[in-house]
C-alpha cells in the first residue's frame, strides 16, 4: 500500500473491521497501516512525548485486537471508534501522570522543544502536516463557541461539566455545542478524505 492510499484512509471500510473481528491477521495489519499514523499523531498531540505516544499506540492495537468485536457500526465509523479509543486512553495516561506528580512539582505538559531528537519518518511528517492543516482549517470555520468547547474537550481533556464550569454555561449547552461542532468537523474532514482518495 503506497503512502497516499495509507493517508487517504481516514475512511476505513467497515468490511475490513468485520474481517478483523473474525481474527484475520492480514486484515488487522491493513487496519494498522491505514490508521496508525493518524492515531500516533493524535496520541502525540495529547501526550506531548513521542516515546509515550508510541507505547500507547502499541497498547491501543493490542486492545483493538482483543475488543474489536465490541465495535458497533451503528455508533460511528471505524476511524471514529479508533480515534475515540486513542483519545480516551491518552487522556487516561495524562490523568495518571498528573496523579503521580509530587506536590510542588510543575505537572504541566512537557514542551516538544525539550524532547530528544527522534526524527519521524517521512510518512509521519506528511500525515501530521496534512492532518493538522485539515483539522485546523475545519476548526477555524466553526463558530467560536463550538470551537472553544471542542478544544477544551479534546485538547485539554476536560469533561462536559468542567467545560460548563469554566465557560459559565449549562452542561446541556456545552453538549450541544460539542455535538454540533463534531458534526461539522466530521462533514468537513469527510470531504477532505474523499478528495484525497480521488487523487
Q: State the average pLDDT for the chain.
A: 74
Quick one: pLDDT band at residue 107, thresholds 50, 70, 90?
very low
Quick one: pLDDT band at residue 170, thresholds 50, 70, 90?
very high
The per-residue pLDDT for 159 is 83
Domains of the chain, start order = 1-97 (1.10.1740.10), 123-199 (1.10.10.10)
d(CA 191, CA 85): 23
d(CA 116, CA 160): 35
- Per cent of the chain over pLDDT 70 is 69
Residues 6+ apart with CB under 8 A from 39: 57, 60, 82, 83, 86
Q: What is the pLDDT of residues 42-79, one digit of tens each?
A: 888 888 888 898 899 999 888 888 887 777 766 677 88
Quick one: pLDDT band at residue 168, thresholds 50, 70, 90?
very high
57, 155, 183, 185 from 167: Cα distances, Å: 33, 16, 21, 21
DSSP 156: S
The per-residue pLDDT for 165 is 92
Q: What is the pLDDT of residues 4-45, one digit of tens each?
A: 333 334 567 778 888 888 888 888 888 888 888 888 888 888
Amino acid at each position: 500500500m503506497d503512502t497516499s492510499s495509507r493517508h487517504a484512509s481516514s475512511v476505513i471500510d467497515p468490511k475490513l473491521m468485520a474481517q478483523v473481528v473474525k481474527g484475520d491477521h492480514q486484515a488487522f495489519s491493513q487496519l494498522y497501516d491505514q490508521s496508525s499514523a493518524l492515531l500516533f499523531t493524535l496520541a502525540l498531540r495529547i501526550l506531548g512525548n513521542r516515546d509515550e505516544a508510541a507505547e500507547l499506540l502499541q497498547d491501543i492495537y493490542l486492545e483493538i485486537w482483543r475488543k474489536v468485536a465490541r465495535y458497533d457500526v451503528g455508533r460511528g465509523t471505524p476511524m471514529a471508534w479508533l480515534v475515540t479509543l486513542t483519545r480516551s486512553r491518552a487522556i487516561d495516561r495524562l490523568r495518571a501522570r498528573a496523579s503521580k506528580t509530587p506536590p510542588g512539582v510543575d505537572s504541566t505538559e512537557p514542551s516538544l522543544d525539550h524532547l530528544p531528537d527522534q526524527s519521524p519518518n517521512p510518512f509521519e511528517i506528511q500525515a501530521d502536516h496534512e492532518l493538522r492543516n485539515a483539522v485546523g482549517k475545519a476548526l477555524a470555520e466553526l463558530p467560536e463557541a463550538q470551537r472553544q468547547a471542542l478544544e477544551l474537550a479534546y485538547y485539554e481533556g476536560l469533561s462536559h461539566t468542567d467545560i460548563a464550569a469554566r465557560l459559565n454555561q449549562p452542561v446541556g449547552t456545552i453538549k450541544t455545542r460539542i455535538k454540533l461542532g463534531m458534526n461539522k468537523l466530521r462533514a468537513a474532514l469527510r470531504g477532505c478524505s474523499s478528495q484525497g482518495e480521488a487523487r
